[in-house]
Copies of this chain bind each other. A is one copy, B any other.
Amino acid sequence: MTSTKKIHSPGSNTDRQSVGKRAYHHGDLRSALIEATRQLVEEKGPDSFSVSEACRRAGVSTAAPYKHFKDKTEMLVAAVLEGMGRHQNKVRAALEGIPEGSPERITAIGIEYIAFALNEPGIFRLKFGGFTDRIADPRLEEGGQQSFGILLTEVAKCLGEPGSTEEVRRRGFLLWSFVHGLSFILHEKGLAEKGSEFDLHDLLEDVSERMLS
């Protein structure tokens, strides 16, 4: 039997997420599994995700993932990390056009946060909503710290404070709590209706103003 395996264009390794392993038998099974995981988490929900189904989708046996991931949880973590990376890129891109020290930058961060929850509710829930017992990876916390740090920097600039003072941390924490809660409520079908009568930008600007004044 000559090789009839599918090849994933072995040279196309532009993904900074991948650790450096590339293109053996499958092409890049690790990436393929992460993508399958991401899709399934969005389609079926985080708690209905199964490794078997990801294998079926990637076209490999159910034992194959364990050459790349310790267990199911580590697959989910990898999918979350990948999503966080994309999210952070979007935030950076969104901030680029807005002048330093402008409160609009804070609104933009909030908008991107909520957009992520709305566009990728599965990954969002996986990161924040109740899988903490199983998913406690230092890289996840690190990413969160980083994001919160960006917010604090912006808050400090807006308040004219010299850095992460207590007041800055307090206001930043309040803003984060609000946006976090809003994200949860809006992305959840049963709850979103209560907020659907309001314009998202209005709400965020309103709250930013209240919190920063």
Chain A interface (Cβ < 8 Å from any Cβ of B) = 44-48, 125-126, 128-134, 136, 140-141, 144, 148, 166, 169-170, 173-174, 176-185, 188-191, 194-195, 197-198, 203, 206-207, 210-211
Contacts and interface: CB of A to CB of B under 8 A. Distances in A.
A210 B177 CA distance: 14
A106 to B, nearest CB: 15
Contacts of A131: 45, 47, 130
Nearest to A207: B174
B141 A190 contact: yes
A186 to B, nearest CB: 9
Given A177-B178, A194-B148, A125 B134 contact: no
Copies of this protein chain in the complex: 2
Given A170-B198, A173-B194, A190-B141, A133 B180 contact: no
Given A47-B47, A176-B185, A180-B185, 18 more contacts: A45-B131, A45-B133, A46-B130, A47-B133, A126-B130, A128-B184, A128-B188, A140-B190, A144-B191, A169-B194, A170-B203, A174-B178, A174-B206, A176-B181, A176-B194, A180-B184, A181-B182, A181-B184
Specify which of A134, A178, A181, A203 lies most central, judged by the most chain B CB atoms within 10 Å of its CB. Answer: A181
Nearest to A166: B197
A58 to B, nearest CB: 22
Given A126-B130, A190-B132, A197 B185 contact: no
A103 to B, nearest CB: 15
A39 B48 CA distance: 22
Contacts of A176: 181, 185, 194
B130 A44 contact: no
